[in-house]
Amino acid sequence: MTDNIVDAFTRALLDVDRLAAKQIVQNRGHDTAPVKFAEDVVLPALERIGAGWQSGTLALSQVYMAGRICEDLIDQILPPEDPDRKNQPKMAICILSDHHKLGKIMVYSLLRASGFDLADYGVMEVDDLVEQVQKDNIDILLISVLMLPSALKIKAVKQKLARLGCDVKLIVGGAPFRFDDQLWKTVGADAMCRDASDAVSVIENIMEGMA
Amino acid sequence: MNQKSVTSMQRVLTTLGHREPDRVPFFLLATLHGAKEVGLPIKTYFSDPDNVVEGQMRLLAKYRHDCIYSFFYAPVEIAAFGGEVVFTDDGPPNSGEPVIKKTGDIKNLAVPDVKNTPCLEKVLTATQKLKSRVKDDVPIIGVVMSPFSLPVMQMGFDRYFDLMFEKPDLFTHLMQVNQAFCVEWANAQLAAGATAICYFDPVSSTTITTRQMYLKTGFAVAGQTLAKINGPTATHMASGRCLPIIEDIAATGTAAVGVSCHEDMALIKNACRGKLAVIGNLNGIEMCRWSSEDAEKHVKEVIAKAGAGGGCILSDNHGEIPFQVPDDVLMAISEAAHTWGRYPLNWTADK
Ligand code: B12
């Protein structure tokens, strides 16, 4: 049953058919809580699309449009700050040092569409980022970069946070990490995602470790 | 052919004609390493065309490769549109805040005057001076961003996708402005002495757009634009994938295609045979931590998969070597290219 819904929902997203997608959300039945729908239908659909991008069968434009449609739909049934949004660690996302926002936008949309809430720091430089993370008591920091020099700056973020005694988990992503599967370790991250939709399972793993 | 008398130009032309020259040509598409060679910070290096001439000439002598790369950096085109270029000490300059702030700004976007834009003039001056140094012995590769890929820097990727999907009229208008600029910019570089133009078009790659979308957008734009460029062109996917659209790329009238390390060169070569030469596909980012043995292994792999019959140029997969790649790795690549690239490629038979 859910499988069929996920199939239909995935199809609607790939066709950029907002109406069809909306219809599926509306027909979900009264007993399906929004968070449950996000977990059982939206996330699996986005994960499938993300996996298709990683294997080269789908294009980024499809991943992007799918994320946007889902974020809008989920915001309608599960507004920001809704207490039903997942009970979760304190999270923030940023772009480090470069001006390329798309990766961050996609991860942010996907996490919100999956029922998470997180702070959006926008573009940050190392020192401001470290200060903000400490001030906000962040548990998980997601960092997106597009340029290699920006990726290499993550090392300084990690070192400065450690020096301040902040126990923050770093999840990193962006093009340089897709071209060198060792780079995330070199910069001292705790995890790397090849695609926005990988973030949910990585966060859940970290949450299990924290519990 | 007598080995000694073969120039880089002859070697490259032979391979573009899908025949085997004396060895597989090797393009070291390095920009930032020129600054290292002349010992200048990146920003200073690009501020004076003479530095770039010196840097490129030193790279050519040191690594014995087969082209001059007159490319400065992609955002030079953004500067021409009145935008900002952000320099760093250890990487390529980036474009700053988008020049198209609101979608409505597209209607007022003017085509920059190539002949009277200082940042572009520097590239043209460097091209002229390089030409007087290498004459017809070494091909000079000029660069343009495709009209279809430039908007990512002009307006940001998210807003560009929204435009592509939701505002077809404004999208068409933007393509017209960018196309007029691209053609003029390419032709000015050719007139200054560039041998060929590398048309960077990663937004057309199937990493970014579907083939269906490509046929309606990037493909049509490329066909029209390349037809107006007065010289040979190569299309570069800047490490985006392209196997599903090889036939289409060939139909745009380009002579060669730059291929991602995420694709199998044997499959690509098969699809391109006789139609397009392949350029690639060493992983520039991973290269930062390669050993000499890694370099040799990867070079051999490209040559073994794509070298036979010509139609193959060894290069990185992006069209720019990251600043962090050590010189000894570049040297190891060069040595491997000279050792293993020699035709006939008898050694590949035992693989
Ligand atoms: C399209 C493209 C271009 C276009 C547009 C670029 C742009 N965005 O501004 C053009 C032709 C203009 C271009 C130019 C340049 N480019 Co370019 N380009 C690309 C290409 C093909 C795609 C980039 C892109 O925007 N992708 C979209 C984003 C959203 O994808 P992504 O970062 O991978 O993000 C996804 C995942 O990684 C993940 N993710 C991202 N962040 C995060 C964070 C977290 C926490 C998680 C969980 C997941 C996650 O989610 C996203 C979606 O699923 C890549 C190569 C490639 N195959 O990816 C090179 C690439 C980004 N370019 C590169 C470079 C160097 C440049 C230039 C600087 C070249 C030059 N010397 O001028 C210029 C500068 C551009 C600028 N804006 O200033 C390099 C950067 C690495 C490096 N060497 O430093 C790359 C990686 C190529 C390479 N293989 O080396 N480029």
| Domains of chain B, first to last | 3-350 (3.20.20.210)
pLDDT of residue B281: 97
Cβ-based contacts of A180 with chain B (< 8 Å): 283, 285-286, 288-289
Q: Which two tokens stand for residue B323?
A: 């600043």
* pLDDT tens, position by position, A15-37: 999 999 999 998 887 777 888 88
Backbone region of residue B239 per phi and psi (left: phi > 0; alpha: psi in -120 to 50; beta: other values): left
**Residue B1 pLDDT:** 47
**For chain A, where do the domains classified as CATH 1.10.1240.10 start and end?**
2-77
Q: Decide: residue A45, CB within 10 A, 0-12 exposed, 13-18 middle, 19+ buried.
A: buried
Q: How far apart are CA B125 and CA B104, in angstroms?
A: 35
B216 touches chain A (CB under 8 A): no
Q: At a CB cut-off of 8 Å and minimum separation 6, what does B41 contact?
A: B35, B89
Residues with Cβ < 8 Å from A22, sequence gap 6 or more? A73
What CATH number is given for A2-77 in this structure?
1.10.1240.10
Q: Please, which residues have CB within 8 angstroms of residue B120's CB and are 6 or more apart in sequence?
A: B76, B80, B112, B114, B185, B188
B273 with B306: CB under 8 angstroms?
A: no
Cβ <8 Å between B94 and A61: no
pLDDT in tens, A95-137: 999 888 899 998 998 898 888 889 999 999 999 999 999 999 9
- Contact status of B166 with chain A (Cβ, < 8 Å): no
Assign domain A91-210 one CATH number from 3.40.640.10, 3.40.50.280, 3.90.180.10, 3.10.20.90. Answer: 3.40.50.280
Please tell me if residue B154 touches chain A, with a CB cutoff of 8 Å: no
Place of tokens 């793993």: A205
Span(s) in chain A for CATH 3.40.50.280: 91-210
Closest residue to atom 88 of ligand 1, CA basis: B318
Q: What is the dihedral of CA B185, B189, B194, B199, to 10 degrees?
A: -10
Contact A105 B158 (CB under 8 A): yes
pLDDT digits (tens), chain B, 351 positions: 445 689 999 999 999 999 999 999 999 999 999 999 999 999 999 999 999 999 999 999 999 999 999 999 999 999 999 999 999 999 999 999 899 999 999 999 999 999 999 999 999 999 999 999 999 999 999 999 999 999 999 999 999 999 998 899 999 999 999 999 999 999 999 999 999 999 999 999 999 999 999 999 999 999 999 999 999 999 999 999 999 999 999 999 999 999 999 999 999 999 999 999 999 999 999 999 999 999 999 999 999 999 999 999 999 999 999 999 999 999 999 999 999 999 999 999 755
What ipTM was estimated for this complex? 0.95
Expressed in angstroms and rounded, the spacing between residue A57 Cα and the centre of ligand 1 is: 19
Amino acid at B319: G
Interface touch A179/B283, C-beta < 8 Å: yes
Q: Which residues contact B196 (CB under 8 A, 6 or more apart)?
A: B139, B140, B141, B142, B231, B232, B233, B234, B255
What does the alpha-carbon distance between residue A76 and residue A15 come to, in Å, rounded to a whole number? 21
Distance CA A56, CA A73 (A): 27
Structure token pair of residue A158: 């990690």
Kindly list the residues of chain A whose beta carbon comes within 8 Å of any beta carbon in chain B: 16, 53, 56, 58-62, 64-65, 98-102, 105, 147-149, 152, 176, 179-180, 182-183, 186
Chain centroid to CA A12: how far? 21
pTM here? Answer: 0.96
Look up residue B132 and give its DSSP letter: H
- CA-to-CA distance for A114 and A108, rounded, in angstroms? 10
Q: Which helix (H) or strand (E) holds B61?
A: helix B49-63
Angle ∠(B146,B147,B153) on CA atoms, nearest 5: 90
Q: Residue B147 has which token pair?
A: 């009209």
- The CA distance from B148 to the nearest CA of chain A, in Å, is 14
Cβ neighbours of residue A151 closer than 8 Å, sequence gap 6 or more: A96, A145, A172, A174, A176, A177, A183, A187
8-state DSSP, B135: T
Atom of ligand 1 minimally distant from the CA of A143:
45
The pLDDT value recorded for residue B4 is 61
CA torsion angle for B232, B235, B238, B244 (degrees, to 10)?
-160
For residue B148, which residues of chain A lie inside 8 Å, CB to CB? none
